[in-house]
Each structure stands twice: as structure tokens, then as C-alpha cells.
Structure 1
Amino acid sequence: MSFSAIFSDVNFLAVLVATVLAFVIGGLWYSPVLFYKAWLDGAGLTEEQAQQGHPGKIYGGAFAMTFVAATLLAVVIGDHKSLIYGIHWGLIVGIGWVSTSFATNYLFERRSFKLWLVNAGYNVVLFTVMGAVIGMW
């Protein structure tokens, strides 16, 4: 199968919308309204430490990686366009691949269960919503 054939069913507008929506969800998820404090505690960070770093690199890199993830989710969904099919694959990826991979890393890194719940929970929601957007487009 050629490289172009792999991406032939990808609707890049849907991928872009899913990526932007992921950022909106992430902004809310990691805000003081929801899980900011739990994330800080789980990561062992102070507010000052969380504010350090170059925002362009952090958010630009995160946007690029989310776009890649959404693109590959669209490849998995393929031409089976439906809301339910998209949600199905979003849940499979979020729970079955991402959260379990995080769990393995967190066990070896001795990271907290609280941090895993925050980050894995975000990814389950993220991939489910991205799958829904891509599936129904």
C-alpha cells in the first residue's frame, strides 16, 4: 500500500477541527475549573514551575503532535464514516493504547495514580471527541 493510499480517506479539515477542539478541551481539563490542582499535585509541580518554559514551543509542539494523532486516528477510522464508529475507535485508542501505555510508563517512573487519572482521563476524552468529529465528518 502506498503512502498516499494510506491517507486517501483522511479529511484534513475534520482533522484540523478535531485538533482545535482537543485544545479547547485541554484548556478546560487542565484549568483551575477542573483538574489543574490535581495535575500540579500529581506532577509534583508548583504554580511557578508550571508557568516556566517557552509557550510557543510547548503549545506549538503540543498542537503539532495532536494534529499527527488526529491524522492517524482518521487513518484508522478510514472511510467508515459514522459518529458511532468514530467514538468506538476514539475509545479504543484512548483507553486501549494511550492510557495503558501511560500506565506502563507511570509504573516504571513511579508517577502517581492521581497524575495518571488526570492525564489518561484527558486522553480518553480527547480521542473519543476527535473520533466523533472525524467519524461524523
Structure 2
Amino acid sequence: MNINFLAILLAAASTLVVGFIWYNPKVFGTIWMKETGVTMNPDEKPNMVLIFGMSILYAFFIAFILQTVVIHQFGVLGLIGGDETKALPSYVAFMKDYGNEFRYFGHGVLHGFLAGLFMILPVIGTNALYEKRSWKYVLVVGGFWIVCFMIMGGIICAMK
């Protein structure tokens, strides 16, 4: 089973698009700034190339592993040890019959939602408890990542 790097890259880039919308002051940006204490000081010029570059790199890491969650065929590949050349004929027959099953956008969205809700939200929530952040913060940041995981999962799952 080949890794679709274009799908992973598009999924990673989608997080920037979602972020531009999600953190817009007219959406959740004002709430996020209030809850984090971030201010728009014109004297401070953040290194946006570094911020966006690292954001894409981290999102690429997420998308790379998310493919194993949203594409069931990766689980089958794992059962044979990851090397298709050493697989029994039953693997080849199975992949011929089921290699494209559940490979559509909505299915990826579902698994992205579940991964975001049950993996990312608890991480953000736990960190927020120790950082003494509000529930608004958890909902804004956690909600952002759940939506990102849904879109990323949809893109990865649909692009065969």
C-alpha cells in the first residue's frame, strides 16, 4: 500500500485554511486572544515564515499518522508486518476485494472526528487543567483541532 504524500500535504495545508477562518476575530479569534492573553501589539513582529512553516510541518506529522486511523487498509497491512512483498496470496486477494472499501470523504471525516474527540481534546483539556486555562480555551482550541482532524481525515481517506 503506497503512501499518498500529496493527500498528506493537502491535509496538512488544510489546517492553515481552517486556522485562518477559525481564529479570525469575527469567529473565535477574539475569544482565543482573551483566553490566552495574546495581544496584537504592532511593535512585535512575529516570524510568520517560521510560524507557518512549523505549523505545516507539525500538521504533516499529524496527517502522516492520521492516515493509519482513517484508512482501514493500513490495519490489514500491519497484520502482515508491513511488507507486501512477503504477504500470502490471501492478502493480495483480500486487497483486491476490499482495497477501496470505506475510502470516501465522509468516512475519513467520521474517523477524524473520533480521533480528535478521543485523542486530541483530552490532551488539550489535560494541559489546560495544569495551565489553569478556561473551558472556553479548551472548547476553542479543541474544537479547532477536531475540525482540522475531520477535514484532514476526509482528504486523506478520499484521495486514493
- 1:133 paired with 2:151, answer no
In the TM superposition, what are the counterparts of 1:1-137 in structure 2 within 5 Å?
A: 8-48=1-41, 52-78=45-71, 79=73, 80-137=102-159
How many angstroms does 1:128 deviate by? 0.5
Q: Which structure would you say has the larger Rg? A: 2
* Aligned-partner Cα distance in 2 for 1:10–1:94: 22
CA shift digits 1:75-122 (9 cap, x unpaired): 222335222331121011111100111001100110111111110010
Structure 2 CA distance for partners of 1:9 and 1:96, relative to 1, 3 Å: farther
* Aligned-partner Cα distance in 1 for 2:155–2:141: 21
Q: Does the CA-based 8 Å contact 1:9-1:75 persist in structure 2?
A: no
The unaligned stretches of length 5 or more in structure 2 are 74-101
TM score, norm. by length of structure 2: 0.74
- Structure 1 counterpart of 2:57, one-letter code: A
* Aligned-partner Cα distance in 1 for 2:112–2:2: 17
Q: Which residue of 2 aligns with 1:3?
A: none
What's the secondary structure of 1:81's corresponding residue?
Answer: coil
- Structure 1 counterpart of 2:60, one-letter code: F
The unaligned stretches of length 5 or more in structure 1 are 1-7
TM score, norm. by length of structure 1: 0.85
* Aligned-partner Cα distance in 1 for 2:45–2:31: 18
* Aligned-partner Cα distance in 2 for 1:48–1:93: 36
Identical-residue share of aligned pairs (%): 30
What's the secondary structure of 1:35's corresponding residue?
Answer: helix
